[in-house]
Amino acid sequence: MAGRAAARAKELRREIERHNRLYYNEADPEVSDAEYDALFRELQQLEADHPELATPDSPTQRVGSAPSEGFEEVAHRVAMLSLANAFGDEDVTAFDRRVREGLNAESVEYSCELKFDGLAITLSYEDGLFVQGATRGDGAVGEDVTANLRTVRSIPLRLETGKPPKLLEVRGEVLMFRRDFEALNRRAEAAGEKAFVNPRNSATGALRQLDPKLTAQRRLSFFAYGIGAHDGFAMPAKHSELLAALGELGFPVAKDRRTVKGAEGLLAFYCDIATKRPKLDYDIDGVVYKVNAFAQQASLGFVSRAPRWAIAHKFPAEEATTELLGIDIQVGRTGAITPVARLKPVFVGGTTIVNATLHNEDEIRRKEIWKRDTVVVRRAGDVIPEVARVAKEGPREKSDWFTLPTQCPICGSAIAKGEDEAVARCTGGLFCPAQRKQALLHFAGRRAMNIENLGDKLVEQLVEGGLVRTPADLYKLGVAKLAELERMAEKSAQNVVAGIEKSRDTTLARFIYALGIRNVGETTSKDLARHFGSLDKLMDADVEALQGTPDVGPIVAESIARFFAEKHNREVVEQLRAAGVHWKEGEGTAEKASTGPFAGKIVVLTGTLSIPRDDAKAMIEEAGGKITGSVSKKTDYVVAGAEAGSKLDKAQELGVAVLDEKQFLTMLGKK
């Protein structure tokens, strides 16, 4: 009997997953929902009668587990990067030109696919079994939503291969088909509940439910479009071949994809998809172009957080007209002052809009926008809705004209705008509640005060709980108070307090950088510390004196002077000193630095060294040198580690002196 039950359970699992694939991957179902449900119930009963038959990859495991208390963080093995955007034909032509120039090729083959309007996720498989799923998050760290992703029937719980790789991370998009979204709203209306706004929001909300059973009630779908980390996976030579391989492993891959050559081929694909778009089963907000050959992708590399070998071509923005009821002021995490339009509710691009950005005061003037005008509101995909232009003038009384306030509406600090800047900013960086979280995270950062164990979630709890208002309040925290916080055991609280205590002993350069002064980065902070040697001298310096610092021009000098002119910022600095934050005055002055082996020299680091890169930079700066990121005729030395690339080639081409690691350490007297 047990043997027959095992055989039947195996047959049912195979049959149910086949029907899942036909329904979600191929849009060609063979059975009705009632017939599918009968097969599913039979398998559930078999596994209930014979618990030993239940397996992790059984379709019954998709129904949802117990609710979780929250989502754990997941550090991505390979970063989930964002794409640059193209909005017009000229952007696509320019992209193709950059790629061809970067590869020194007359023509390049591209893989073209859809840009889904959903939520990016990564799926991890070990030895062929699905073990973890996570959201994109900030690209480096996401949220563990494994239990919820198990409920998505188009995601295979086991790879369809007899020789699964040891590890395979599959990247793709979770979304909701239009038919499933409509069914969801019909159920909501029947229950007297509020209807959902659009499929994307519904999918995102479903995936972030703490109870997977609620996720399972919303019929989510998935499309694969790439991979991350892998071990034991036979990597194809081209992206188009990878998509085909993912399909063979059991992943749904959109059929609307094509390989083309040149800008003409890219634009032809865009036009075809734009025509098909209304008839698709799901929402898209553009198409994606990727250089097809992985070897060429590697050659092109990345710029900032985006690949040079790919771009998203967005569809035109959707627009609607409505009345501008008023203009509010929003203070961003970095102090940016943004005027926000308060609108009469209007439906644009699949969602109801009540607020839209006006960008800045200059834009309001340029577009001649007054309160009570009828305006055109534009929205394109995930882009923040904006007021594009005036459709019809309102009464335009004197009180309807917008005037930028002179004081921050949140903290009362002065609002200032640089001569060549469009964005005005609150100057109360260490004091302003709107900037509180960002200021604290920057203050505690590794290159600033280096407070260990003080991460994003803890800072959020400290700020929202009213325990910390300024960086100085960190030094008043005790173990008992921290241990009361959610997910904070006594040992963890002790570690945080120890990290805070350790940070009291710092350097002047680190402290200056930790203050988060606009336009003052790590290198400028070191230059200021070397030049002034004392915080008091720096705080009392005027714009002219500040410009005496190497590489400090009028804009940076104005930022520094403005920061220390704000009494709130000076008060926080004094509170930090009173809390015991200290450094050696005079440490790192220009006089001391001028005697080192790299005194006055410009140095570039490239390749992999056996010592941490930050340690190497610190050694050079302590020896009087200055670090730059690119090689030029002004460069004095290039320190080249293993696998040094184009910077070494450039140095040799210009005749710049090249040091290997041994020579570098010898100059410093370290070997």
* Paired strand residues for 226: 171
Angle 231-234-240 from CA coordinates, rounded to 5°: 120
Map out the domains of the chain as residue ranges: 2-63, 85-314, 318-400, 594-667
Mean pLDDT across the stretch 293-310?
A: 89
Residue 339 predicted with pLDDT over 90: yes
Containing 49, the helix (H) or strand (E) segment is helix 33-49
- Residue bearing the bigger pLDDT, 671 or 40: 40
CATH (residue range 85-314) = 3.30.470.30
Q: What is the pLDDT of residues 528-582, one digit of tens each?
A: 998 999 999 999 999 999 999 887 888 889 989 999 998 989 999 999 999 999 9
CATH superfamily name and code, 594-667: BRCT domain (3.40.50.10190)
Residue 380 predicted with pLDDT over 70: no
Give percent of the chain above pLDDT 90: 48
How far apart CA 649 and CA 640 sit, in angstroms, is: 10
**pLDDT at residue 2 in the model:** 66
pLDDT tier, 68 (very low <50, low <70, confident <90, very high otherwise): very low
Residue 655 predicted with pLDDT over 70: yes
CA atoms within 13 A on the CB side of 248: 11
Residue tagged 């495991």 (tokens): 61
The rounded mean pLDDT for the chain is 87
Alpha-carbon distances of 437 from 287, 335, 460, 574, rounded to whole Å? 36, 12, 7, 20
**pLDDT at residue 589 in the model:** 45
**pLDDT at residue 45 in the model:** 80
402 near 339, Cβ under 8 Å? yes
Mean pLDDT across the stretch 218-246?
A: 95
Q: For the chain, how are helix, strand and coil distributed in percent, rounded to 5?
A: 40, 20, 40
What residues contact 425, with CB distance under 8 A and at least 6 apart? 334, 335, 336, 337, 415, 416, 417, 518
Q: What is the pLDDT of residues 262-291, one digit of tens each?
A: 999 999 999 999 999 988 999 898 999 999
Residue 452 predicted with pLDDT over 70: yes
pLDDT tier, 304 (very low <50, low <70, confident <90, very high otherwise): low
How far apart CA 314 and CA 309 sit, in angstroms, is: 17
What residues contact 436, with CB distance under 8 A and at least 6 apart? 463, 468, 469, 470
Most confident of 177-191, 296-310, 360-374, 451-465: 360-374
**pLDDT at residue 53 in the model:** 76
Phi/psi-derived region of residue 631, left when phi > 0, alpha when psi is between -120 and 50, beta in every other case: beta
Overall residue count recorded for the chain in this entry: 671
DSSP state, residue 21: I
**pLDDT at residue 551 in the model:** 78
Residue 429 predicted with pLDDT over 80: yes
How far apart CA 556 and CA 540 sit, in angstroms, is: 15
**pLDDT at residue 5 in the model:** 76
Q: What is the pLDDT of residues 589-626, one digit of tens each?
A: 444 455 678 888 889 888 878 887 777 887 887 788 88
159 near 125, Cβ under 8 Å? yes
Residue 150 predicted with pLDDT over 80: yes
Answer yes or no: CATH 3.30.565.10 is held by domain 2-63: no
Residues acting as catalytic residues: 115
**pLDDT at residue 382 in the model:** 53
Q: What is the pLDDT of residues 473-514, one digit of tens each?
A: 999 999 988 988 887 888 889 999 999 999 999 999 999 999
**pLDDT at residue 110 in the model:** 98
**pLDDT at residue 652 in the model:** 87
For every residue of 110-143, DSSP letters joined together read EEEEEEESSEEEEEEEETTEEEEEEE-TTSSEEE
Spell out the CATH class of 318-400: mainly beta
- Residue bearing the bigger pLDDT, 421 or 100: 100
